Structure 1
Amino acid sequence: MPYLERVGNVYVLSLGNEGQTDSENRFGHEWLDETHALLDTVEASSGPAALVTTATGKFFSNGLDTDWLFANLDRMHGYLDRVHELLARVLAFPLPTLAAVNGHAFGAGAMLASAHDFRIMRVDRGFWCLPEVHLGMPFTIGMNALVTGRLTNQVALTAMTTGYRYSGPEAFAAGIVDETADAVDLRDSAVTRATALAANRNGSLPVIKRCLHAPTLAALAVPTTPDNLEFAKS
């Protein structure tokens, strides 16, 4: 389960199990519950603060719990709405946010990274990728809005229609991430940058974010139904 640490004015949300590396950090129901609980803790704090989201080992996050999803297709729409809720919460979070992408960020895991204000990605290993086209999985209304709202049109088209795997340097060149760092420096670089932003936590920040991302937030709030999402037929 995710866990929370504090480094000065920076909260560090780790997506995997404490003391364990290489967890895929998929968005299971319990994982979503715990992540929201930890974000509640951060929001309940006062004073200057920022949030860094990261993980350890090979994965940042592989996104949707596809094992559960494909075993429960009759319940998938409600589950996807829960994922949208998390993406929207991070996108409009009332603190400065940074994703320190330590490893693979696939599907909804890549979208979670992109929902942060800023992104730093490991330079030497790991990919940012939207593999839905290869899985026969269409993008929901909300996910489509998030990707197209955070990336340029041509980068979004390439990522969404080809499933291209972007390395750290390629993601930086495409504007998917804001900078890259060596693995040993990634977390410290993110914390340093977040520390410099912590004083921007004030009453105006959430208003600015909600206005800035209004179309995406509205799309993420659209309930997922069989009418607006159907998996491709083989």
Structure 2
Amino acid sequence: MPFLNADGDIYELYLGTEGVDLDPDNPENRFRTEWIETVTGLLDEAAANAKGLVITATGKYFTNGLDTDFIAANFAELPAYLDKVHALYSKVLTLPVPTVAAINGHAFGAGAMLALCADHSVMRADRGFWSLPEAALSMPFTRGMAALIRTRLADATATEAMLTSRRYGADDAAAAGIVGEAASVDDLLGRARAVAAERQQVAGPNLGLIKKGLRTPLLDDLAVITPATLL
């Protein structure tokens, strides 16, 4: 399960399990319901104690997004499940500390969108893709998800990413403005921590208020209850 590394004022939130590169129970760091609850609690802990937060993982995946096994077995619960995903995005978007995503591996679908919620992002240069595969999988985007992508990316990039399911490596993702920068695997975490540290002086309740004001239309869209008619 996800865990926090409290290293000074800059905390690290790992999306996988401590001590292993791949969690045997959730090797792709998918958005299982208990995973969402754990991450939400850790975000609250970081908000209360840290001055900056790096969101990362280990192994092959940053996160591969929605729990497709749960969806297939509990289709009637899909709208409520997606509402929990939206709430997680809103939590990250409004955290009262600077946030930096250190994208260590593949970030697909809902996981790619989670990376967009951070204030800044650094992506591993030598391995891993950022991608929105929904079009290729015949899956729609919710109103909140579309608003998130539209808000955080330039229109041309959002259009290409949403309509083609292109897989972006780090250099292409940085050039398109999907991530802030690319870094080698050896420099990834250090660079993410450095960015968070550079911004730590603005951490506090006022930063959370500024983020809410900056992102009010997006937060409103994420708060809309997912209709059962979505699919």
Give the structure-2-normalised TM-score. 0.96
User: For residues 47-196 of structure 1, what are the structure 2 equivalents within 5 Å?
Assistant: 49-196=51-198
Aligned-pair CA distance for 1:203: 3.0
SS across alignment from 1:53: strand
CA distance in 2 between partners of 1:55 and 1:189 (Å): 15
CA distance in 2 between partners of 1:78 and 1:115 (Å): 20
Aligned-pair CA distance for 1:124: 1.0
Q: State the superposition RMSD in angstroms.
A: 1.0
Q: 2:47 aligns with which of 39, 43, 47?
A: 43
Q: 2:214 aligns with which of 212, 215, 220?
A: 212
Aligned-pair CA distance for 1:6: 1.6
Q: 2:35 aligns with which of 12, 16, 31?
A: 31
Counterpart amino acid of residue 14 in structure 2: S
Aligned-pair CA distance for 1:193: 1.3
Aligned-pair CA distance for 1:167: 0.2
Give the structure-1-normalised TM-score. 0.95
CA distance in 1 between partners of 2:11 and 2:72 (Å): 34
Counterpart amino acid of residue 183 in structure 1: V
Residue of structure 1 equivalent to 2:201: 199
After superposition, give the CA deviation of every residue in 1:138-193 in whole Å (9 maximum; x if it has no partner): 00000000000000011001000100000000000000011111001101111111
What percent of counterpart residues are identical? 49
Counterpart amino acid of residue 158 in structure 2: A
Aligned-pair CA distance for 1:9: 1.1
CA distance in 2 between partners of 1:33 and 1:159 (Å): 28
Aligned-pair CA distance for 1:207: 1.4
CA distance in 2 between partners of 1:168 and 1:71 (Å): 34
**4+ residue segments displaced more than 2 Å:** none
CA distance in 2 between partners of 1:147 and 1:85 (Å): 15
Unaligned runs of 5+ in 1: none
CA distance in 1 between partners of 2:115 and 2:174 (Å): 13
Task: Give the count of matched residue pairs.
Answer: 227
Aligned-pair CA distance for 1:39: 1.2
Aligned-pair CA distance for 1:194: 0.8
Counterpart amino acid of residue 203 in structure 2: R
Aligned-pair CA distance for 1:75: 0.6
Stretch moving more, 34-43 or 155-164: 34-43
Stretch moving more, 202-211 or 176-185: 202-211
1:15 has 2:19 as partner: no
CA distance in 1 between partners of 2:76 and 2:191 (Å): 43
Aligned-pair CA distance for 1:226: 2.0
Counterpart amino acid of residue 13 in structure 2: L
Counterpart amino acid of residue 214 in structure 1: T
Aligned-pair CA distance for 1:100: 0.2
CA distance in 2 between partners of 1:38 and 1:140 (Å): 25
Aligned-pair CA distance for 1:44: 2.2
Aligned-pair CA distance for 1:73: 0.9
